[in-house]
Amino acid sequence: MTGTYPHTRLRRVRATAWSRALHRETLLTPADLIWPLFVTEGEGVEDPIASLAGVSRWSVDGIVARAKEAVELGIPCLALFPHTQPGRRSEDGAEALNPDNLMCRAIRGVRDALGDKIGLLTDVALDPYTSHGQDGLIDDAGYVLNDETVEALVGQSLNQANAGADIIAPSDMMDGRIGAIRDALEDAGHINVQIMSYAAKYASAFYGPFRDAVGSRGLLKGDKKSYQMDPGNTEEALREVAMDLAEGADTVMVKPGLPYLDIVRRVKERFEVPVFAYQVSGEYAMIEHAVAAGAADRDTMVLETLLAFKRAGCSGVLTYHAAHAARLLNG
């Protein structure tokens, strides 16, 4: 601490709006946001998600329209997640490898309409495609098999890269998948396709509405604690991040977001790399429920929580409030 009262009055620089703006340490802009969107079958379809008020599944043409909206708002990147029809789900999640699956059609639709005006981040995991709702292949006891799953994830990554994805985002938490995917991308000539690793993804209670959105909640057998992280662990998160960076991840993600800002800060300070966080569906739903109950103002709460991510060290945030926040920030 330098200076003493009254020679130093910390309130002095807070007295006017212009001075507060001049001294603000952390800034939030639309360029800090990634907008997650859910893709569904059909044409002209908007399918509202009951547990995610204000969020819908969109057919490919709707995804293209949202992409155009994002460009206008200054949002640089979309994150795409498929709502695979039950008849296309299987024990081995083979639909993930179909070059004409929902994800690939959405990628091509946006790419054809907008070229490189917007980035496309695509989820790599098998849970949107498996009949059992797990992120990987399972044995007879229901245990998720690591190495066999990694092989499938490599094929899924190449499928999305071939369709035009800019960022491959493995959310599965299998050991060794980043190195295997990076090698495969290099060998296939996709040298500029980025990998954003879900490096510290916790076995969290905040994912429920997302599972509704992709249609896996009622399918999930057991839990995901054998591969997603224990919420009580910090040092393990640093080991996960270190391994993923060593294997070729360009950026890393912490998930969930707000309850894990301490992990964001530890990762940023330890590794000095771009760190992203996912303000997950349960976090979004809590804000919307608070607003519906008259307990909070949506605009101020959305911007304050997103600013907290930036202050903790995030380079960007995946948030379902992206479009709303961008409109507020654009004035």
Q: What is the dihedral sign for C-alpha 160, 276, 218, 125?
A: positive
Kindly name the residue from 224, 255, 268, 310 that is annotated as catalytic. Answer: 255
Pairing of strands 46-48, 56-58: antiparallel
Task: Identify whether 255 is a catalytic site residue.
Answer: yes
Task: Identify whether 68 is a catalytic site residue.
Answer: no
- Phi then psi for residue 279, to 5 deg, are -80, 95
- Evaluate whether 101 touches 112 at the Cβ level (below 8 Å): no
Kindly name the residue from 68, 117, 201, 225 that is annotated as catalytic. Answer: 201
d(CA 24, CA 136): 45
- Evaluate whether 113 touches 68 at the Cβ level (below 8 Å): yes
> Per the annotation, does 240 bind a ligand?
yes
User: From the centroid of its chain, how far is CA 219?
Assistant: 22
d(CA 317, CA 16): 29
- Two tokens, residue 185: 């991308």
Pairing of strands 56-58, 167-170: unpaired
Annotated binding site for Mg(2+): 240
Annotated binding site: 240
Active site residues: 201, 255
